[in-house]
Amino acid sequence: MENKEIKEQICVLLDQRLAGVPERKACVVTYGCQMNACDSEKLAAVLRELGFVLTEEARAADLVIFNTCCVRDHAEKRVYGNVGALRKIKEASGGRMIIGVCGCMMQQKGVAEHIRTRYPFVDMVFGTHNLHEFASILLAALESERTFVDVREKEDGCVHEMPAERKSLSTAYVTIMQGCNNFCTYCVVPYVRGRERSRETERVLDEIRGVAATGCREIMLLGQNVNSYGKDLGGGVNFAALLRQADRIKGIERIRFMTSHPKDLSDELLETMAAGRHICRQLHLPVQSGSDRILKKMNRGYTRADYLTIIEKARRLMPEAGLSTDIIVGFPGETEDDFAATESLLAEVRYTNAFLFKYSPRRGTPAAAMPDQIPEEVKQERHARVMALQNAVTAEVNARLIGRELPVLAESVSKKNDRMLSGRTDSGILVNFSADGVEPGTIVPVRITGATVSALRGERV
């Protein structure tokens, strides 16, 4: 935290509010994408500096922050439910518990006001553009009798430049840009995250060097549309050039990135990936639909044929690449023929993984006002159909790796079995493997012995 005075003032107020609490616990609950996870790590770093011990359990914490997502309705509903569930716990603590709600949902019109009036036990509400002022916001909230609300229209200062309390020892998120200019007609992101702002290359590289110095071996470069990195910086900076520079940083063994927009993906990027020493052969390339008619209504800026040309080039340059995608089913006006085009695209590309979503109307976006909204049952049924199709493909793609020996970066002890480690192949597939004495953060050769739709199984060679 840069401002010592603010820190001291917060500590005095916390001493009063949490008097008698032997160990102050804080919990940051994250919804949504990696960008939010990355922002939560920045909040966690501030809380750590204030003397909090971080916990995963909101109910047991003295301070809870909900970092929200509004990309789909489902995430929003969960937020309201989970914030509401703390009311009784806060009352039981004599009002001592400190509750904050922040993130993308707060940037939407009327949401902050809704929280303030319907959830008055919330102490502070802030948005995505002033995350870097979290300490001052917390101070104001501690001083205020009512919910303190600070949601800005625009960023001033730089959210990127905050230290992070990284959750994973093996993979570090590094934000390279914020915002999005694409305005896909279904998507709320440009409204809540603002226009594209790239971070200066040197700053990004400095952060990566810092990560390498901590012993962390893998970085994930983050942006809503990494392929347009640098357009706003001038001087011929682009994403491929950034990757090449990152690739030269000593100590970093694996570089991943997301998300790539097909419309801005260059041959130079694919060539850079193929030639890179530490750039993983993994490409998450959301297609959204296989139907040209729907792609046009979505304002995606490419056709099915354009997309398949990129896939073909990527496979030619990197035959073993892990390709994944996002799909939306039930976009307004989607006919059975349009849906069949999406199914045939999935069958043709054979992704290692696909994230499949039912279209969720977002207030204020053009698609929410389009005619021919698809009934929930139809969305549900189409979702189940693509899910079955993709699961079968993923299972087959994974099964083909049985018998192979692949380098795996050990990330953590497996969730299901503490004698196993979990990690990923270069192409991004999850592997659970037995490996006595292997420390998370090291890359080891693993022989693949089994495969399911969700992961590979293996043994250290």
183 vs 355, which CB is nearer to ligand SF4? 183
- Kindly report the CA angle at 431 between 427 and 437, in degrees rounded to 5? 120
362 contributes a contact to ligand SAH by CB under 6 A:
yes
80 vs 357, which CB is nearer to ligand SAH? 357
What b/e readout covers 86-120, taking b as 16+ CB neighbours within 10 angstroms?
beebbeeeeeebbbbbbbbbbbbeebbeebbeebe
Dihedral of CA atoms 170, 271, 234, 188 in degrees, nearest 10, equals -60
Compute how many residues bind ligand SAH; rule: CB under 6 A.
17
Q: Please give the sequence-ordered ranges of beta strands (E in DSSP) within 286-375, or none if there are none.
A: 322-329, 353-358
CB 211 within 8 A of CB 172: yes
68 contributes a contact to ligand SAH by CB under 6 A:
no
Q: Specify the residue for token string 């915002």.
A: 179
**Can you tell me which of 36, 171, 175, 225 binds ligand SF4, judged by CB under 6 A?**
225
Closest approach, Cβ 69 to ligand SF4, in A, equals 12
**Can you tell me which of 40, 185, 224, 422 binds ligand SAH, judged by CB under 6 A?**
224
Residue 450 amino acid letter: G
226 contributes a contact to ligand SF4 by CB under 6 A:
no
Q: In the stretch 245-264, what mask flags binding to ligand SF4 with x, by CB under 6 A? A: ----------------x---
Please list every residue from 157 through 216 that binds ligand SF4, using CB under 6 A.
180, 182-184, 187, 189-190
**Can you tell me which of 72, 132, 167, 304 binds ligand SAH, judged by CB under 6 A?**
72
As separate numbers, helices (DSSP H) first and strands (DSSP E) second, the chain gives 14, 19
Q: Cβ neighbours of residue 11 under 8 Å, at least 6 residues apart?
A: 50, 51
Please list every residue from 132 through 191 that binds ligand SAH, using CB under 6 A.
186-187, 189
100 vs 262, which CB is nearer to ligand SF4? 262
Of the candidates 301, 328, 267, the residue with the CA atom closest to the CA atom of residue 180? 301
Closest approach, Cβ 240 to ligand SAH, in A, equals 18
Sign of CA dihedral 103, 108, 110, 114: negative
- Residues forming the site for ligand SAH (CB under 6 A): 71-72, 186-187, 189, 224-225, 259, 261, 286, 288, 326, 328, 357, 359-360, 362
- Residues forming the site for ligand SF4 (CB under 6 A): 180, 182-184, 187, 189-190, 224-225, 261
